[in-house]
Structure 1
């Protein structure tokens, strides 16, 4: 029986990712714990945050464990049953969360049921599997697939789960009346463990009035046709920090901006994930936007200068770019990735770099006695 924790762990590892603060203030609020298991998270929210938690669990064994230990716990209502059936007659909830359990339910069933059972602007926070213990990543279609559920000292159990790429979860949530606020990947602290979980933070939108339109409209987001990324210029005493991509190009640290992420935050995250260097958002200066096309996709790249950092660059496990080295500005490699070449020529037009045509729009900066801010 797990003890009542000091915080919610959205992944199997303590201290990885945020805690219960992502649910917001819960004092006196009705909170739904979906697939509550042994009930330790529900008890934590009732004790530490003053929430009125309904802990619903389909498993007879898990429900019995929870009630055997916490049946008299103030602030927790223990329900044994199916969450979809429960939501059809339950009073509206102020918040809902699930640690791993929503992956077992068809999102075309669970998400509309949760939308109808949550008040307007209520948070829906849940974690789901992203990369399994065999290193297999998420699916690009909304369909269940067989996964292995590991139990302590017991053989693995085959189960059907919805393991979806982040943009599919975002499409589903948006189409069923939610606004996605953040999506984070939570990796195991052990570098040898390939398992990754997604933490998805969404909010139930208010009902929309029917609008008269001259053409059919839908709540579904448009098909993706643009890509937004960042690239970091880290200039040290021995040159410019650059790495080797496994596909053969040399490039700056950087990558795709995640949902709900500020541009400076993306630079800080990508720099840490790819190189191991740490910096702060206040030490990131955004240069401007570079716009070009790759096939039918509009690509927007934001160049940034990192003015201060800590650590030594090193190849990070699981990253596609590594072998970081300091390259003198007068001897830059010729196999530069297109986006990196464009960022560098926008930063220093005098650099002798061959690059593809692009449109650069600089951001406005204030000039102080210390230079660019």
Structure 2
């Protein structure tokens, strides 16, 4: 089974995201694995008029929210089923595009053009599963000056489901992420641990860095 097929099977078994959150919003951004929990899009700063790339865009809900705030969005996901769901749900939004492609392949492809992004995000996505020494230089090369990279995943040592074929997860500590990111040309690195909701044991690591 290919990696795309494996992630597609994993996606098919996932619980669909709700159409409305606890506040009654039809679009929202969620950095953590828990519903109605954690910070919002303010982590990224103002997004209106900015070009946003999401690596591992899944069903497209996080990216669609940013587009409703005035961003232009490009979503990339390796699982074909994800793009199908994203287009069915969000395809009518102007300024939003989804592609089925490996993150590294996409970034290498855009590296041959002048296309850049003001914001790159990955929520339990490619940054967690691709060697940062391969992925981060590619991300950095496609970011506009002053752009923001932000990503989240489980803290080091936490267990989380994934296709067996996905290989290693890059569970770095906050200090390790700081060292890796600065080594690849990022600055103003901020790593925080979002505490879990009451009754849950595992929090979420959130990392933000600048391409200044």
Considering fraction of residues, name the structure with more strand: 1
Count, aligned residues: 184
1:80 to 100, 107, 111: 100
**2:89, 2:147 → 1: CA distance?**
30
Query: Is residue 189 of structure 1 aligned with residue 201 of structure 2?
Result: no
Q: Which residue of 2 aligns with 1:89?
A: 109
What is the alpha-carbon root mean square deviation over aligned residues? 1.9
Instruction: Find runs of 4+ consecutive structure 1 residues off by over 6 angstroms.
Output: none
In structure 2, the CA distance between the partners of 1:184 and 1:16, relative to structure 1 (3 Å rule), is: farther
Q: What is the TM-score with the length of structure 2 in the denominator? A: 0.80
Considering fraction of residues, name the structure with more helix: 2
1:166 to 174, 179, 189: 174
Query: Is residue 70 of structure 1 aligned with residue 70 of structure 2?
Result: no
1:157-186 per-position Cα deviation (integer Å, ceiling 9, x unaligned) = 545311111111111000000013421101
Q: Are the equivalent residues in 2 in contact too, given 1:180–1:200 (CA < 8 A)?
A: no
Specify every segment of 5 or more residues in structure 1 that has no aligned partner in the other structure, as ranges: 138-146, 151-156, 206-373
Work out which of the two has the higher radius of gyration on C-alpha atoms and give 1 or 2.
1
Give how far 1:19 is off.
Answer: 0.8
**1:79, 1:199 → 2: CA distance?**
25
**Greater relative CO (CA pairs within 8 A, separation 6+):** 2
Q: What is the TM-score with the length of structure 1 in the denominator? A: 0.47
Q: Which residue of 2 aligns with 1:40?
A: 61
Q: Are the equivalent residues in 2 in contact too, given 1:173–1:180 (CA < 8 A)?
A: no
Q: Which residue of 1 aligns with 2:184?
A: 176
**1:116, 1:103 → 2: CA distance?**
19
1:120-144 per-position Cα deviation (integer Å, ceiling 9, x unaligned) = 110001102105xxxx45xxxxxxx
Q: Which residue of 2 aligns with 1:130?
A: 155
1:18-55 per-position Cα deviation (integer Å, ceiling 9, x unaligned) = 210111111121110110000011111111x1000001
**2:84, 2:136 → 1: CA distance?**
27
